[in-house]
Structure 1
Amino acid sequence: MARAAGGILSELPGTALRVLRVGGTLFGYAVVFGPAVLGARLRRRRWAHAGERLSALLTSLGPSYIKIGQLLSTRRDLLPERVRAELGRLADATPAPRRARLEGVVRGAYQGRSWPFAEFGWTPMATGSIATVHRAVTLDGRKVAVKVRRPGIDRVMRRDFRLTALAMGGMQRLPRLRSMPFKVMHAQVGGAILHQLDFAAERSALGDLRTNLREFAWIRIPAPMPDLCTEDVLVMEYVEGLARTASESLSTDARKAAARRVMSAVYEMLFVDGLVHCDLHPGNLYIEGDGSLVILDAGFVIKLSEPVRASFADFFINMAMGNGPLCAEIIIESAASIAEGCDLGGFRAGLAELVTESTGARSSEFNLAKFAGRLFDLQRRFGLYPVPEFAFPLLSLLVVEGIVQSLDPELDFQAEAMPVLRRRNMPRASVGS
């Protein structure tokens, strides 16, 4: 362990940056488990420069942490507007690499084969933490969007992954945290972030999402062009007329339709297909004037295992039906580990109370982050530790929750799920039936 730590830390320029990276890592994992606490602290302190400082910190820590900021920027129910506005700029404010470096990556990707473009816009039309996106025209006249992986990003992200592994290992040594599955959690959540470097996997995910959601005529997802894709370059069809539409500029009917369509698409992914887009922030989810949707960037798409998909669907439908006892049984059966001497009766009673409070709540009343926080707190108190893979369904819902609330505060999250759940995944029999 010491030798590995020395090798990793020797790559970092100094103690200050090392501390920032470790602190940022802990903050990143806290996003899923405790964003409500962060929001409350910021509101109490009314820290005028919170957004700027947090944005600067996440930018300095690198691409994994910039994505955390993008997630937080959607949480209008948890963070002040001035903080969210600053974090929202992270999607657009990442500086693009110099043209020479970009050109080196793209031309290198097609080395040994014919150059496939009649035109190529070297100035990015979108700049992200992992890649830039360019408009181009192929030799046969097709307009395409070209996603180019940032030069050197693979080395940076893998170094950070090793550092977070050390941080998780250190937390696992703390007496009160020894039973927490931090290493497994890091492997799955951190591995999912590294997975975004794999353009072949993203190309496949784009195709699978198009197939899975093909019944929804109001969703557009660009088709990948496999013959033009390489390890460092992902080429897909160009979506014409793409522009971000503020919810305030939509008609009431369009807002309500868009809110329901967002939830329908997410629920189809979660409960039916198990292939889940976990990064539907406003930079990847576009809402058009008529309420139709455009979904982009399939880098952070996770395939849930069948047991997790089925358990999450079971939990959700029974939560919507107010069946707290069965929700508790599902959590107990799917737990990664249960502490010795765990008070299962106390856990069942606590979860039943939480489910009863949440059943039937509308968008303006139901706060998923607070619900998840209370659920995790119950699990921690009673020693039931969830399968880390459960973080992905929650993450996908957390990202879109703020968007949906801005479109239609009266939307009933749980009721909207029922048609999908009843059509494809009927719940097990209720306790006592």
Structure 2
Amino acid sequence: MARAAGAPLTELPGTALRIVRVCGTVLGYAVAFGPGALGARLRRRPWERAGACLTALLTSLGPSYIKIGQLLSTRRDLLPERVCAELGRLADATPPPRRAVLERAVRGAYRGHTWPFAEFGWTPVATGSISTVHFAVTLDGRRVAVKVRRPGISRVMRRDFRLVALAMGALQRLPRLRSMPFTVMHAQVGGAILRQLDFTAERTALGSLHANLREFPWIRIPAPLPDLCAEDVLVMEYVEGLARTAPESFCADARRAASRRVMSAVYEMLFVDGLVHCDLHPGNLYIEGNGSLVILDAGFVIKLSDPVRATFGDFFINMAMGNGPLCAEIIIESAASIADGCDLGGFRAELAGLVTETAGVVSKEFSLAKFAGRLFDIQRRFGVYPVPEFAFPLLSLLVVEGIVQGLDPELDFQAAAMPVLRRRNMPRVSVGS
């Protein structure tokens, strides 16, 4: 087995063991559930058990794979409703650690300091793949939420990171894929996922999001309380009365208003602040009865560089206007690499056709996942590879797209971005070329 980039020699046995466990778990589920899945397919009910089986498999594989399931749970346009409903349980249904393990971790975080809580609820109010969240009351009477990193989770996720690095390195060696920046993509995207383990960085991101979006009275983001935080513990304001509300619980007007507020918040992050929440699945984004939004968990928040933010804004506004030729030029100019002998004329023509085809399409007829898939296919075939940072703004939109489509199928995603785009530095726009 080749050594994973950056993996200490002492960690290789642990990585090898993790590979065995992952492969063994997948094989075990295939043996246990394969016959039932085949029978369901023969009965023309292939999705009846698929969601439950997939959810159980991802839960067994661990946090890195649960994150994938959380993303997939929002994609009702791509997966059957029954599968998405089961995957949605991954948002907060991961079993918590035993109380003794949690208590040892939390009390250990404050070792050498005064215990800061008058009350602490050891039963989590929310349970995620990387952490649990608890209600507490401080010594001075403040009601707070305490996010606790799961003991041992860092070691598991870092081994998964190295496992994927090995796979990416192998793909990079295939003759047809040598020009694709797999290893760079893994370092940047995978590195961003690993940063969810860094509660100091999350505390900073949470404070920045809170400050950036404070002008919107309909957005609530809990502020961190730095004086109470520790390395493995993040303490923040407690948001009262959080409850997940199904879209059908709102009237049509309220659903439309909520969908526009969700997209306005995301576009503000993308095009104005450049600080992007990439994990707004239903466990981190709540819509309250009065239409207000509550945004939680800043673990997967990415700061876009100014060039990437500006380029993505340029591409998006020209996509909204149906200006395919300029969209092609923007991608060519910002590409991380272009294959030798690339047919740039053919690339321009195909991309222009894709943009023209999707301009002005409403939510129920437009799938960003399918658009991105076709875009990446065109780039792959012509050998025009984007900078890996472009994955983050696309990911933030992909996660919320499923939620917004459930709220308002008539929303024009592209038109909804125009008011925000006009408030930022005016992007490069031209007619044709």
* TM-score normalised by the chain length of structure 1: 0.92
Whole-angstrom CA distance in 1 between matches of 2:257 and 2:215: 16
Q: Secondary structure at the match of 1:430?
A: coil
Match status 1:10 vs 2:13: yes
Aligned ranges 1:218-233 → 2 under 5 Å:
218-233=218-233
Whole-angstrom CA distance in 1 between matches of 2:106 and 2:161: 26
Which residue does the alignment assign to 2:34?
A: none
Whole-angstrom CA distance in 1 between matches of 2:276 and 2:307: 15
Aligned ranges 1:160-175 → 2 under 5 Å:
160-175=160-175
Which residue does the alignment assign to 2:266?
A: 266
Whole-angstrom CA distance in 2 between matches of 1:189 and 1:91: 21
2:121/2:134 contact within 8 Å kept? yes
Which residue does the alignment assign to 2:368?
A: 368
Which residue does the alignment assign to 1:155?
A: 155
1:9/1:18 contact within 8 Å kept? no
Between 395-404 and 47-56, the greater mean CA deviation after superposition: 47-56
Q: Secondary structure at the match of 1:146?
A: strand
2:318/2:324 contact within 8 Å kept? yes
- 1:15: Cα distance to partner? 6.6
Which residue does the alignment assign to 2:50?
A: 50
Q: Which amino acid in the other structure matches residue 391 of structure 2? A: A
Per-residue CA deviation, residues 42-68 of structure 1 (Å, 9 max, x unaligned), is xx9834322122212211221011011
Per-residue CA deviation, residues 244-275 of structure 1 (Å, 9 max, x unaligned), is 11111112221111100000000000001110
Which residue does the alignment assign to 2:125?
A: 125
Q: Secondary structure at the match of 2:78?
A: coil
Q: Secondary structure at the match of 1:207?
A: helix
Whole-angstrom CA distance in 2 between matches of 1:2 and 1:256: 52
Which residue does the alignment assign to 1:352?
A: 352
Q: Which amino acid in the other structure matches residue 169 of structure 1? A: G
- 1:364: Cα distance to partner? 0.9
Whole-angstrom CA distance in 2 between matches of 1:53 and 1:388: 32
Whole-angstrom CA distance in 2 between matches of 1:428 and 1:183: 31
2:314/2:428 contact within 8 Å kept? yes
Whole-angstrom CA distance in 2 between matches of 1:77 and 1:289: 25
Match status 1:19 vs 2:23: yes
Per-residue CA deviation, residues 298-323 of structure 1 (Å, 9 max, x unaligned), is 00000111111111000000001111
2:363/2:410 contact within 8 Å kept? yes
Whole-angstrom CA distance in 2 between matches of 1:333 and 1:98: 53
2:332/2:384 contact within 8 Å kept? yes
Aligned ranges 1:6-405 → 2 under 5 Å:
10-11=13-14, 12-13=16-17, 16-19=20-23, 46-405=46-405
1:64/1:157 contact within 8 Å kept? yes
- Alpha carbons of structure 1 residues 166 and 201: separation in structure 2 relative to 1, 3 Å: same
Q: Secondary structure at the match of 1:137?
A: strand
2:18/2:159 contact within 8 Å kept? no
Whole-angstrom CA distance in 2 between matches of 1:394 and 1:255: 23
Which residue does the alignment assign to 1:28?
A: none
- Alpha carbons of structure 1 residues 3 and 247: separation in structure 2 relative to 1, 3 Å: closer
Q: Secondary structure at the match of 2:197?
A: coil
1:137/1:144 contact within 8 Å kept? yes
2:364/2:410 contact within 8 Å kept? yes
- 1:164: Cα distance to partner? 1.1
Q: Which amino acid in the other structure matches residue 269 of structure 1? A: M
1:313/1:425 contact within 8 Å kept? no
Whole-angstrom CA distance in 2 between matches of 1:283 and 1:302: 19
Per-residue CA deviation, residues 172-198 of structure 1 (Å, 9 max, x unaligned), is 011111100011000011001100000
- 1:150: Cα distance to partner? 0.4
Which residue does the alignment assign to 1:32?
A: none
1:278/1:300 contact within 8 Å kept? yes
Whole-angstrom CA distance in 2 between matches of 1:390 and 1:374: 15
1:362/1:410 contact within 8 Å kept? yes
Whole-angstrom CA distance in 2 between matches of 1:424 and 1:252: 31
2:106/2:233 contact within 8 Å kept? yes
Q: Secondary structure at the match of 2:106?
A: helix
- Alpha carbons of structure 1 residues 285 and 351: separation in structure 2 relative to 1, 3 Å: same
Q: Secondary structure at the match of 1:364?
A: helix
- 1:115: Cα distance to partner? 0.5
Whole-angstrom CA distance in 1 between matches of 2:297 and 2:2: 39
Whole-angstrom CA distance in 2 between matches of 1:263 and 1:270: 10
2:320/2:360 contact within 8 Å kept? yes
- 1:422: Cα distance to partner? 1.1
Whole-angstrom CA distance in 2 between matches of 1:197 and 1:389: 20
1:364/1:405 contact within 8 Å kept? yes
- 1:341: Cα distance to partner? 0.3
